[in-house]
């Protein structure tokens, strides 16, 4: 999760880059105007021609200064780790609270060392999440991890057992008690690891760059000096299940992860790490491969005593909860106690009855399926009542919106569970949601709206001294609308000094821009049959080339793990950047041959087509999707999804939103309308 400061720095950089393009275009226009008046001395002419180059050089210097100073010293890496630890603590503390149902009360999970034949680490036989003050000899999770040799821990458990919560508790406690030389634990969702292209150090560097806005050289230094402890969450999410719903023993991506972890080392020792996985998945994998030199612990079911302690701590009205607590006390081995033995169901229960309702209703629903249906029916309204709701979303609207989004994740597009869960995807990515409103419908609407937008400058052309220019501009608008029909991927405005690849891209585009500027000028001159002076031609070519070259050179693909709304904003900035660059230079070139209104129409049309089609394709398609989904989704969908994350209905995973739990996603997909009796 990038910090607020990181997001501001990124937006500031994008504004600086766009202003740089405008400054070059403005200086070029000024130089051409002065040259066109004539009567200049050779020195004055040289000064004017050097003006765009000087502005471009200034912008390059500004961009270079924004590149952080490289530091390779281990002492510097230790000082950087202090900043990283604060960033991780801020971000993961919010995630931790969301997982606990927007509360601070947690279940004191118990776990045991799982027997392993694959060269296990030395570790205590059992432990608890925290010291419960009962005088037991079981270590808390931090003491347990520090007693493990080597420091490699695999956390397993059933679905909803609390694996991520236990890993987050360990992560935050390690940060709270870290010394200067201790590495900073950084949590990484494993589903985003490209095992074919990235090593584990590469993944760690990318996480620091993408999630915490670290410059590449500093991120590389932190990883190289072993100041990052990988907390790898969700090995079971790497591969699909088999047709019968069981884990795939082959699991190629998960197997590649385990091999990479076995190759990960610090000097002559195995590299420290923390890994989470569902027990059944890990057992299937260990039939042919396992994490070596690691302690494998499995989370035990929550005991009735721990369940009662948790519910008492969460209760704000003990009288309502007393019948349920008494039942768990009197029937510790009963079916209801067994059903409420997972942290997910306990958190669901505490949330569903937090402010109102009678928890004693659960005494009549001992079966797990019936209890889940009952609790999930209360969950969304209860979560909305508990949390802040500044936009006044209504429970029935929230239910219908979330249900509609589940149809995007259903391969059959149906309203019922007609396909096995193993074929279901979980990621909701804003710029990839548009097929939900109908593939053909969105594409046709996108092409028509883009064409209409590009037609906007035609009245200027029709009222200009050269009205015939409207025909080629109209053809360009139609061509732009047709080009908008295929889906476009997101773009962003990047610092060309951030990586060697970005620098090479910027140089190539600047060279191509200079060449293309001359070609554009020649084409305009031939089309209008009006010759221009050599000085004006050189200045125009130079300005067009620098402006377009810089605009294209700083336009790249967004970071793969950025937040969804950040990707949309970056794509919008890329569209604005290209629109201004092509619009200004197109109008500037046209002004040499046409009257003012004609040149303005030409520049506006070029700018609109370049910005809408070439730069902001993902944003344009996303807005059209929202327009086509007006009665099924809120128009400010990103704001709604962020709010749903804040109250615990959804969670973030890189650029994607995911439902808080797979059971909630399945239930919503089965229920288009909220239960009326709740």
> pLDDT at position 518, please?
57
Rounded (10°) angle between helices 564-591 and 534-553: 170
pLDDT higher than threshold 50 for residue 410: yes
Give residue 599's pLDDT band: very low, low, confident or very high (50, 70, 90).
Answer: confident
Tell whether 282 and 329 lie within a shared domain. Answer: no
When pLDDT is averaged across residues 309-330 and rounded to a whole number, the result is: 89
Mean pLDDT (the chain, rounded) = 80
Same domain, 376 and 241: no
User: Is 89 in the same domain as 226?
Assistant: yes
Residue 172's pLDDT is: 95
State which of 128-137, 293-302, 581-590 shows the largest mean pLDDT. 293-302
State which H helix or E strand residue 539 sits in: helix 534-553
Q: Is 82 found in the same domain as 134? A: yes
Domain co-membership, 85 together with 150:
yes
Question: Higher model confidence: residue 590 or residue 195?
Answer: 195
Q: Do the domain assignments include residue 31? A: no
Alpha-carbon dihedral 509, 511, 515, 517, rounded to 10 degrees: 60
Domain boundary among 281, 299, 317: 299
Same domain, 331 and 220: no
pLDDT cut 90: percent of the chain above it = 31
144 within some domain = yes
411: tokens are 């391969």
Q: Which of 299, 334, 361 is where one domain is finished?
A: 299
**Taking the model in full, what pTM does it have?**
0.74
Of 353, 386, 419, which one is at a domain's C-terminal end?
Answer: 386
- So what's the pLDDT on residue 51? 54
Domain-embedded: residue 422: no
Q: What is the pLDDT of residues 156-202, one digit of tens each?
A: 998 888 899 999 999 999 999 999 899 999 999 887 788 888 899 99
Quickly count: other Cβ atoms within 10 Å of residue 502's Cβ: 17
In three-state secondary structure terms, 384 is helix
Do both 294 and 325 map to the same domain? no
Residues spanned by the domain of 210? 76-102+108-299
Total domains in the fold of the chain: 2
What is the residue-wise DSSP string for 299-326?
A: EPPPPHHHHHHHHHHH-S-HHHHHHHHH
- Give the separation between CA 182 and CA 81, rounded to whole angstroms: 9
Is 582 within a domain?
Answer: no
Q: Is residue 633 part of a domain?
A: no
Q: Is the peptide bond before 150 cis (omega within 30 degrees of 0)?
A: yes
- Does 280 share its domain with 150? yes
Q: Are residues 308 and 378 in the same domain?
A: yes
Res 10 pLDDT > 80: no
Does 163 fall in a domain? yes
d(CA 670, CA 409): 13
Asked if the model's pLDDT at residue 417 lies above 60, the reply is no
- Shared-domain flag, residues 218 and 86: yes
When pLDDT is cut at 50, 70 and 90, the band that residue 112 belongs to is very high
Q: pLDDT band for 66, please (50, 70, 90 cuts).
A: very low
What local confidence, expressed as pLDDT, does residue 34 receive? 54
Mean pLDDT computed over 298-307 = 91
* Per-residue pLDDT tens over the stretch 645-662: 888 898 877 678 888 888
Query: Does residue 294 sit in the same domain as residue 356?
Result: no
pLDDT grade, residue 537 (50/70/90)? low
486-492 mean pLDDT? 77
Q: Name the least confident of 133-137, 147-151, 508-512, 599-603.
A: 133-137
Indicate the Cα dihedral angle 206, 208, 212, 217, nearest 10°. Answer: -100
CA atoms of 116 and 156, how far apart (whole Å): 13
pLDDT: is 510 or 431 the higher one? 431
CA distance 323 to 70: 63
The two three-digit tokens of residue 567, written as one number:
């990707």
Which of 372, 312, 300 has the alpha carbon at shortest distance from 336? 372
The answer to whether residue 490 sits within a structural domain is no
Distance CA 569, CA 133 (A): 49
**Least confident stretch, 259-268, 537-546, 576-585:** 537-546
Residue 520 domain-assigned (yes or no): no
Judgement on whether residues 350 and 362 belong to the same structural domain of the protein: yes
């Amino acid at each position: 999760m990038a910090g607020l400061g990181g997001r501001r720095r990124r937006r500031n950089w994008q504004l600086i880059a766009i202003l740089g393009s405008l400054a070059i275009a403005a200086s070029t226009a000024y130089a051409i105007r002065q040259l066109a008046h004539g009567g200049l001395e050779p020195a004055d002419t040289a000064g004017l021609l050097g003006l765009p180059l000087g502005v471009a050089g200034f912008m390059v210097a500004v961009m270079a200064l924004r590149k952080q100073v490289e530091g390779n010293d281990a002492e510097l890496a230790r000082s950087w780790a202090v900043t990283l630890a604060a960033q991780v603590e801020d971000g993961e503390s919010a995630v931790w609270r969301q997982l606990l149902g927007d509360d601070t009360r947690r279940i004191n999970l118990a776990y045991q060392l799982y027997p392993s034949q694959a060269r296990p680490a030395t570790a205590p036989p059992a432990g608890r999440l925290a010291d419960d003050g009962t005088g037991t000899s079981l270590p808390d999770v931090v003491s347990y991890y520090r007693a493990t040799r080597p420091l490699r821990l695999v956390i397993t458990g059933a679905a909803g057992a609390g694996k991520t919560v236990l890993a987050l508790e360990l992560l935050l406690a390690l940060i709270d008690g870290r010394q200067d030389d201790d590495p900073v634990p950084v949590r990484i969702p494993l589903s985003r690891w490209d095992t074919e292209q990235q090593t584990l150090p590469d993944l760690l560097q990318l996480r620091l760059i993408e999630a915490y806005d670290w410059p590449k050289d500093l991120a590389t230094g932190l990883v190289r000096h072993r100041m990052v402890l990988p907390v790898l969450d969700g090995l079971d999410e790497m591969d699909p299940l088999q047709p019968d719903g069981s884990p795939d023993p082959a699991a190629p991506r998960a197997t590649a992860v385990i091999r990479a972890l076995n190759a990960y080392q610090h000097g002559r020792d195995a590299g420290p790490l923390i890994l989470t996985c569902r027990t059944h998945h890990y057992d299937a994998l260990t039939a042919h491969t396992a994490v070596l030199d690691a302690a494998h612990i499995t989370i035990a079911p929550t005991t009735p005593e721990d369940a009662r302690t948790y519910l008492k701590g969460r209760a704000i009205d003990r009288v309502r909860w007393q019948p349920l607590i008494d039942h768990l006390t009197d029937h510790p081995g009963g079916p209801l106690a067994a059903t409420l033995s997972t942290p997910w169901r306990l958190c669901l229960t505490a949330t569903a009855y937090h402010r109102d309702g009678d928890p004693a209703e659960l005494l009549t629903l001992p079966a797990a399926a019936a209890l889940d249906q009952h609790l999930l029916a209360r969950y969304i309204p209860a979560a909305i009542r508990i949390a802040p709701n500044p936009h006044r979303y209504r429970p029935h609207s929230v239910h219908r919106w979330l249900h509609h989004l589940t149809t995007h994740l259903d391969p059959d597009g149906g309203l019922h569970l007609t396909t096995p869960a193993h074929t279901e995807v979980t990621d909701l990515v804003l710029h990839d949601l548009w097929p939900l409103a109908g593939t053909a419908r969105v594409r046709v609407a996108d092409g028509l709206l883009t064409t209409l937008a590009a037609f906007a400058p035609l009245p200027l052309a029709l009222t200009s001294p050269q009205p015939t220019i409207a025909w080629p501009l109209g053809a360009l608008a139609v061509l732009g609308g047709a080009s908008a029909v295929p889906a476009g991927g997101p773009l962003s405005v990047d610092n060309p000094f951030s990586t060697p690849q970005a620098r090479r891209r910027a140089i190539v585009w600047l060279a191509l821009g200079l060449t293309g500027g001359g070609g554009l000028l020649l084409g305009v001159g031939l089309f209008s049959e009006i010759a221009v002076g050599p000085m004006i031609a050189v200045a125009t070519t130079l300005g067009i080339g620098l402006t377009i070259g810089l605009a294209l050179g700083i336009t790249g693909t967004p970071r793969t793990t950025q937040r969804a709304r950040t990707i949309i904003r970056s794509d919008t900035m890329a569209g604005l950047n290209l629109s201004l660059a092509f619009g200004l230079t197109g109008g500037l070139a046209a002004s040499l041959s046409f009257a003012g209104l004609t040149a303005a129409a030409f520049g506006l049309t070029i700018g609109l087509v370049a910005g809408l089609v070439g730069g902001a394709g993902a944003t344009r398609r996303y807005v059209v999707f929202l327009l086509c989904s007006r009665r099924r989704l809120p128009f400010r969908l990103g704001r709604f999804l962020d709010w749903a994350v804040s109250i615990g209905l959804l969670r973030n995973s890189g650029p994607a939103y995911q439902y808080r739990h797979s059971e909630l996603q399945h239930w919503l997909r089965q229920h288009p309308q909220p239960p009326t009796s709740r």
